Amino acid sequence: MLRPPILFLALWGILASLGKIVRLSPDWPVWAVAAVAALVVELILFLYRYESQAVTPKRSRWLIALRLCSLAVLVWILIEPTWIREVERARNREVVVVIDDSASMHLKDDGASATRLEIGEKALADSGILKTLGESMKVRTVHAARSVRGEGEGEAEGWSDATDLVAAMNTVLEQVPPDDLAGVVMVSDGRHNRPGRVEDVARRFGILDAPVGIIATGSAEPPRDASVLEVKAPEAIHLGDRMRVTASLKFDGYKGGQAKVRLMRGEKLIEERPVPIPQEHHREEVRFTTVPEEGGVGGYRIEIAGLDGERFAENNAWEFETSITDARTNVLIVESTPRWEFRYLRNLFYGRDKSVHMQYVLLHPDTIAGQEEELIPASATRPFGEAQATRLPATQEEWRKFDVIILGDIDPRAMDEATWKIIAECVKERAAMLVMIAGPRYMPHGISEESGRDLVPVETYDRNRNFYSAGEEPFRFALTAEGRNHPITQQTTGETANDAVWAGFPEIPWRQPIRSLKDGAEVLITAAGQEGQAAISGGEGLNAALDALAKRREKEAAAALLVTRQTGKGKVALLLTDRTWRLREGAGDLYHHRFWGNLVRWGAGPVLRAGGSRVRLGTDQLTYTADDRIKLTARLRDSGMNPVTDADLKAELFRDGEMVSSTAINAVEGSNGLHEVELPALPHSGRYEVRLRGTQADRLVSEDGGTAVSAGFRVVGSRGPVELAETTLNLPLLSTVADLSGGRVVKPENAGDLTGLFLKETNAKKEIRETSLWDSWLVLALFAFLLTTEWVIRRGGGLP
């Protein structure tokens, strides 16, 4: 009776002692493994007493030994021992020398005998830092401007017309393994003028203990100069819309003078503004507003009239292009009464957003006694600006001309089954988008027709009731995991900043509850109370994670505010509150317009600037640099506005009349005839033209009375004279990079002081190594050998 507990305690002690040498990771507690092993030992001993009477003592001893060894191997596998130790690994450390080779580094400052680049390179040579570092580690040099190039690599056109320090440092991180990166020696004037935050990438160097040592060259005193620092202008506007252009200007050394700033289209003067210069170093923004009289791609220019004694004349002009198109998204709004959501939405699309050709039908408008209502069916063919209609579209063909249909709180008796079938066909076949805006009386729960209820992406409550009061506390908007990265909900750049914008909107007092989501529905926005949304934890393991995911989606569905669903070829969006106009509070129509603009573009697709009614084509920008990839989008639709897929569609790229490439364009699944492709960056500056070719595309263009659809764009060295706009030494930026990375900024004569940043006492790196001792083939082979040998001996003795 004492042997089992003694065995258990002995085994438990052995396992506990073993756990101090290696890591044990059994699925059971260690004491449970010891208890089961003790019971199995007792069983083996019992069999030994029984079998020893039937076989020779020698054979029985072999049997018990093999069984105990097999048990030991099995326990070894069950406790999953892992040997953990600390080892030192020699590192092949590397320092990368980044030479800023942009145009500003080729300037010779007043009083200097050499250019900034020559001063920096001479400082490297005279200090001997590269030779000293090369004795103990690898040293490699790269040149950086708009992008990075190694020794011997050629320059693309306009390569030196901009400086991208972020791209340079990111390239180092990509090319050198983190454990081997000793740091960076940079020679620069700090004139970073491309997108990207140097602070973010500098922190990564600090985390890797890879300091950035900087040799700062250049003068902090600006030369006598005037320049255009930046121009903000729309890539595309609609014919008849105002084009607003903002130019940031710099004037150094012209105190008391006056400059003239002009907006030009080609050689035609659009507007000229006098700019007084009240101080020695003056910065000012000048705004222009113009209404283009003709469509197409307009080539514009902001220029400063030449001033006497300027250091640089080439930075006085900034050229840009704006596409002026009459292509619009056809939107139909149907509402019962003029509630606030309808009023703000109508004013938005009618007054501000010229990209939308709107028609609206108010089924129960405010009327004057005795006034006769004119019968005007809604139609996308009505002239732009004539938005008010009094009847729904007269025919199925008229319904199909609308890209987006927005339905408000409509009485179910206003639309019969035939109308709902037409709307369903527009969504499922024509690939239009249907937006339903919930209301307390009818929408969406009050829809009585089967075709209409089938379009609703959620299961609703009884249709014979209202929802004037949902019985809930006021709530705020909150994005779901899916909503955070969805194009509809993007209000600003960056996920954290976007979450903050949505969380900052005012509280909303009403929403309509739902029972559940239909298959394929996705919740993008939910209601969050003042206390916020509690996190749902599912514990550990795959099943727990799946359970947590199901709980989260169930909670989001119960509080849903915006639900979307792919329905056939089109999309359906359901807003479960009629208070999106509250997004205007304290911000005008900025966020309200952005939300509805995103929603319309997501459902209807982008407005493409070139082509006819059946085939249209566009690029995501009009101007690219040689480092930018080009996104090309085409849309194909037949005469009935049904999406068309062309498996043979290609984009033929031309420059100066000669074909550069031919690239296949792939159809976007579930879209309204969209086809997309991303063309590689083009190294040569100039104007390019893209032409569509394909079996279906050629047929549709021919039916539309055209020949070929094409769209142009240009490739430039830089988008403006950014490199020579500001030429002073940017010491604050360089100091920030050094501080965040653990480096230093030194003058050229002190370049040798950077050596100590990179020379460490040892190149060895301590690492934690783990070696699994239980899942090798040797352990499994040993276990199989013991069992097989035991079976052979047992059968040889005549035992069963």
Residue 536 reports pLDDT greater than 50: no
Alpha carbons 463 and 29: distance in angstroms, whole number: 56
The predicted pLDDT at position 560 comes to 93
Residue 153 reports pLDDT greater than 60: no
Alpha carbons 322 and 549: distance in angstroms, whole number: 46
Under the banding of pLDDT at 50, 70 and 90, the label for residue 748 is very high
Tens of pLDDT, residues 117-136? 999 999 999 999 999 999 98
Under the banding of pLDDT at 50, 70 and 90, the label for residue 544 is low
Report CA-CA distances (Å) from 425 to 213, 380, 445, 642.
65, 18, 21, 10
Mean pLDDT is lowest, of 52-61, 333-342, 581-590, for: 52-61
Report CA-CA distances (Å) from 670 to 101, 418, 426, 786.
47, 25, 14, 60
Under the banding of pLDDT at 50, 70 and 90, the label for residue 532 is very low
Tens of pLDDT, residues 303-313? 998 788 888 88
Under the banding of pLDDT at 50, 70 and 90, the label for residue 764 is low
Report CA-CA distances (Å) from 71 to 43, 65, 78, 776.
11, 10, 10, 17
Residue 545 reports pLDDT greater than 80: no
- Token pair of 776 as six digits: 């090798």
Alpha carbons 659 and 755: distance in angstroms, whole number: 52
Residue 150 reports pLDDT greater than 90: no
Q: CB-based contacts of 218: which residues, under 8 Å, 6+ apart?
A: 104, 105, 107, 109, 116, 189, 190, 727, 728, 729
Mean pLDDT is lowest, of 144-158, 318-332, 546-560, 764-778, for: 144-158
Q: CB-based contacts of 401: which residues, under 8 Å, 6+ apart?
A: 330, 379, 380, 381, 393, 641
Alpha carbons 433 and 523: distance in angstroms, whole number: 17
- Rounded to an integer, the average pLDDT of 392-408 is 94
Residue 548 reports pLDDT greater than 80: no
- Token pair of 245 as six digits: 């252009």
The predicted pLDDT at position 34 comes to 86
Q: Do 158 and 716 form a contact (C-beta atoms < 8 A)?
A: yes
Residue 538 reports pLDDT greater than 60: no
Tens of pLDDT, residues 674-687? 999 999 988 888 89
Alpha carbons 523 and 576: distance in angstroms, whole number: 11
Under the banding of pLDDT at 50, 70 and 90, the label for residue 61 is confident
- In which residue are the tokens 């239980």 written? 774
- The residue among 57 and 265 whose pLDDT is bigger is 265
| Helix-helix angle 57-79:777-796, to 10 degrees | 160
Under the banding of pLDDT at 50, 70 and 90, the label for residue 655 is very high
- Rounded to an integer, the average pLDDT of 630-643 is 91
Residue 41 reports pLDDT greater than 70: yes
Tens of pLDDT, residues 424-464? 999 999 989 999 999 999 999 999 899 999 999 999 887 77
Phi–psi pair at 465, nearest 5 degrees:
-155, 175
The predicted pLDDT at position 794 comes to 82
The predicted pLDDT at position 156 comes to 65
Residues 57-87: b if buried by 16+ CB within 10 A, e if exposed? eebbebbbebbbbbbebebbebbbbeeeeee
Tens of pLDDT, residues 294-353? 878 888 999 998 788 888 888 899 999 998 887 889 999 999 999 999 999 999 988 777
The predicted pLDDT at position 106 comes to 93
Average pLDDT, the chain: 88
Nearest to 280 by CA among 228, 193, 221: 221
Dihedral of CA atoms 164, 169, 173, 175 in degrees, nearest 10, equals 70
Q: Do 120 and 215 form a contact (C-beta atoms < 8 A)?
A: yes
Under the banding of pLDDT at 50, 70 and 90, the label for residue 542 is low
- Token pair of 388 as six digits: 């008010």
Alpha carbons 711 and 325: distance in angstroms, whole number: 12
Beta strands in 429-488 (DSSP E): 433-437, 458-459, 476-479
Q: Do 442 and 410 form a contact (C-beta atoms < 8 A)?
A: yes
What pTM was computed for the model?
Answer: 0.66
Nearest to 262 by CA among 312, 226, 314, 316: 316
Residues 727-744: b if buried by 16+ CB within 10 A, e if exposed? bbbbeebbbbbbebbbbb
The predicted pLDDT at position 152 comes to 55
SS (H, E, C) 76-92: HHHHCCEEEEEEEEECC
Under the banding of pLDDT at 50, 70 and 90, the label for residue 533 is very low
